[in-house]
Chain A
Amino acid sequence: MTILGARDIGISFGGIKAIDGVNFSVSPGQILSIIGPNGAGKTTLFNIVSGVYECDQGRVELSGEDVTRLTPDKLAARGLSRTFQNLQIFQRMTAAENVMVGRHLRERCNLLADLFRLPSVTRQNSETREAALTLLDDVGLRSSADIAAGSLSYGACKRLEIARALAAEPRVLLLDEPAAGCNAVETEEIDELIRRVAAKGIAVVLVEHDMKLVMKISNHILVLNRGKPIAEGAPREVRDNPAVLEAYLGKHGAKEAARA
């Protein structure tokens, strides 16, 4: 059962095909990794799927419905959440508030009630904060809840983004390089976290350069090079695929690796 599917996605920037004919599908509880050398178009693909960019060709389907032209907020309402490769946290808000924003779609938001701060608003606020603190606990940031997010470490911000994305209770989670810039221990923690997320039945799409992490947790891997899919399959199949080695290491390097 596919929850998120991309069919023949393509986008050009000034005549250059950044993405061309990419297909993938992911089911609930599955971890799909998209890998490829720098500039392969992984983040661009994420931006298309999450509605940040509009693609020139192909379609994106969420639970069988065409969602290709929907804006990010509409997609979020349908259960698609994501994190960003270049951190997009709310710097001036506390860690807890960042996650509380993530619960926006789960909150009733009425301007007049908010302006006059009706008791229902205060009640809902403490519920939202409770939920946010639980999520911060999950990513190991409980103790930083009331610290301004701008003063957290890089690795902490990465995990904060995951907590914020999870706060929306998504059915599909796109993670754009969650382990980038994290040390070995932090990467371990993120590995653990992603597995737990998938175990809850959330479909995870992962873009990541840390091959150890990718090979360990992925159910399925899609390899892109210069915007085109060059291989896909289970981690083992992809690892031994000569086309993948060539994309990463070049022709000569691939030969070396084959001999080794």
Chain B
Amino acid sequence: MLQKIGHRYLTLIALAVIVAALPLIFPSSYYFRVASLVWVSAFAAIGLNILMGQAGQVSLGHAGFFGIGAYAVAIGPAHFGIPTWAALLIGCALSSVLAYLVGRPILKLKGHYLAIATLGLGVLVALVITTESRWTGGPDGMPVAKLTLLGWRVSGSDTWYWISGGLLLLGTWIALNLNDTPTGRAFRALHDSEVAARVAGIDVARFKLQAFVIAAAYASVAGSVLAMMNGFINPDQAGFLHSVEMVTMVVLGGLGSVVGSIVGAAVLITLPQVLTVFQEYEHLLLGFIIIVSMIFMRDGIVPTLSRVLAKRTQS
């Protein structure tokens, strides 16, 4: 038990050290920007991993919630005069409510059917964002007002680095908390055997819905922060490709592994930056790397590596 609590804080401390130390080796503000992007994407991936890795339910429409969060901080201040930070909370609440309402019927579905239903949800959100151009600026996107907190205008890539880093720590802490609690155990139990979970008294529908809402809230907050950081948004952030990218981060890093989600996000965000030297082969190489790692590390990067390490230390 003590070991487990220790493990939880060890992960957090290690992550905090990495977030704090990375700027020491960053030569330019470009690196701050890429790293912030990794932290925000990792935050969304951690949320999605609670749904996919712990509760075992897939969502191919999570960029929809990301988009709602992003557009909330754009539309709120521009059309309603709501402070940006409040718009973030409203976006998060909207995403959660939508997830709750839509989740009730669609989480009865399993496997491919659930995947298609969530995909449909994501496509719908993206469609609304693209067509309601009076509110959203349509396919061209719209600018996002600068975040102001107590009279302080938040700007600069290093400032956003610290904000997104802090957010990542918060998201990691919550996800690690959950793992070893009645709720987290209920998620993992229904993942392994729904019928046994029900016989143990777990209201399966309720817990699936909880996981879905948590994941939606995470994605929404990530979307809001990214929008504020970039100062501009377009409908691509709510699109299907972004949903797939989020799922890829989770699966590549390791289903059920919080650290895995961060690694998955880091790989998927930084690889394209590194691969720009190969220019036109960039996407080809990215696809190839993902295929190869899925063949040789089916459980994802972090679970595979920790298994290898465990074997090494044993022998």
A binding-site residues for B, Cβ under 8 Å: 50-52, 71-73, 76-77, 81-82, 84, 88-93, 97, 100-102, 104-105, 107-109, 111, 114-117, 121-122, 124-126, 128-129, 164-165, 167-168
Contacts and interface: CB of A to CB of B under 8 A. Distances in A.
Contacts of A77: 201
7 contacts: A72-B199, A88-B195, A90-B189, A109-B186, A115-B178, A121-B182, A164-B200
Nearest to A106: B201
B196 A84 contact: yes
B186 A101 contact: yes
B20 interface: no
A117 B4 CA distance: 14
Given A73-B204, A76-B200, A93-B188, A109 B174 contact: no
A71 B181 CA distance: 24
B254 to A, nearest CB: 12
User: Interface centre among A84, A117, A124, A128, by most B CB within 10 Å?
Assistant: A117
B195 A72 contact: yes
Contacts of A126: 1
Contacts of B191: 92
Nearest to B196: A88
B210 interface: yes
Nearest to B8: A117
B198 A117 contact: no
B273 interface: no
Interface residues of B, number: 30
B180 A125 contact: yes
Contacts of B178: 114-115
A115 to B, nearest CB: 5
B193 interface: yes
Given A50-B199, A111-B210, A168-B200, A91 B192 contact: yes
Contacts of A115: 174, 177-178, 183, 214
A129 B196 contact: no
A168 B199 CA distance: 10
A144 to B, nearest CB: 16
A81 B5 contact: no
A71 B185 contact: no
Interface in B140-199: 174, 177-178, 180-186, 188-189, 191-193, 195-199
B132 to A, nearest CB: 33
A97 B189 CA distance: 9
A109 B183 contact: yes
B270 to A, nearest CB: 30
B182 A107 contact: yes
Given A84-B195, A89-B196, A105 B1 contact: no
Given A93-B192, A101-B189, A114 B183 contact: yes
Contact of A92 (B192, B201, B202): B192
A101 B197 contact: yes
Contact of B201 (A76, A93, A97): A76
Contact of B177 (A90, A100, A109, A117): A117
B192 A114 contact: no
A89 B204 CA distance: 16
A105 B201 CA distance: 6
Contacts of A51: 198
A118 B174 CA distance: 11
A104 B202 contact: yes
A89 B185 contact: no
A126 to B, nearest CB: 6
Nearest to B194: A88
A21 to B, nearest CB: 26
Contacts of B195: 52, 72, 84, 88
Contacts of B192: 89-93
B182 A109 contact: yes
Contacts of A91: 192
A125 B180 CA distance: 8
A104 B181 contact: no
Nearest to B177: A117
Given A90-B188, A90-B196, A121-B181, A116 B204 contact: no
User: Interface centre among A71, A92, A114, A122, by most B CB within 10 Å?
Assistant: A114
A184 B179 CA distance: 39
A101 B200 contact: yes
A105 B203 CA distance: 10
A71 B177 contact: no
Nearest to B5: A122
B182 A89 contact: no
Interface string B247-265: 0000000001000000000
Given A111-B210, A115-B174, A104 B186 contact: yes
A167 to B, nearest CB: 8
A2 B191 CA distance: 36
B185 A117 contact: no
9 closest residue pairs by CB, A with B: A76-B201, A88-B196, A114-B181, A105-B201, A117-B177, A109-B182, A90-B192, A72-B198, A114-B183
